[in-house]
Amino acid sequence: MKKDLHHKDYRTVVFEDLNNGAKFLTRSTIASDDTTTWEDGNTYPVIKVHISSASHPFFTGEERIVDIEGRVDKFKARSEAAKAAKEAKIAKKPRKSEQKADIQKIGSR
């Protein structure tokens, strides 16, 4: 194993969840200039996170309803529009036989 791979400067920090204001006191190597006073009266560096186990639906058991049908309908509409555009492009493009006929007309002039 490699030597000196892991940090040795662990310190106590507070992680604050911005969604619900929950705070956790733990050890980390992450640096922060912000500080907060914890329940024990000591001041610790604070790390602000957007989501934690206190607000994540997997850990809280809250279920969020997702509009799946709307997404499926939008996908089908885009798919049909793309198919129609492709068919229109193919119909507009001249066939090789038509191109040869046009070349022969120009050559016979």
pLDDT value, residue 56? 72
pLDDT at 52 over 70: yes
HEC secondary structure over the chain: CCCCCCCCCCEEEEEEECCCCCEEEEEECCCCCCEEECCCCCEEEEEEECCCCCCCHHHHCCCCCCCHHHHHHHHHHHHHHHHHHHHHHHHHCCCHHHHHHHHHHHHHC
pLDDT value, residue 71? 77
Banded model confidence at residue 53, pLDDT cuts 50, 70, 90: confident
Give ∠ CA 58-20-52 in degrees, rounded to 5. 40
67-100 pLDDT, tens digit per residue, is: 556 777 888 889 999 999 999 888 887 666 666 6
46 close to 16: Cβ distance less than 8 angstroms:
yes
Domain boundaries in the chain? 11-60, 68-108
Banded model confidence at residue 23, pLDDT cuts 50, 70, 90: very high
**% of the chain exceeding 90 in pLDDT:** 30
pLDDT value, residue 79? 93
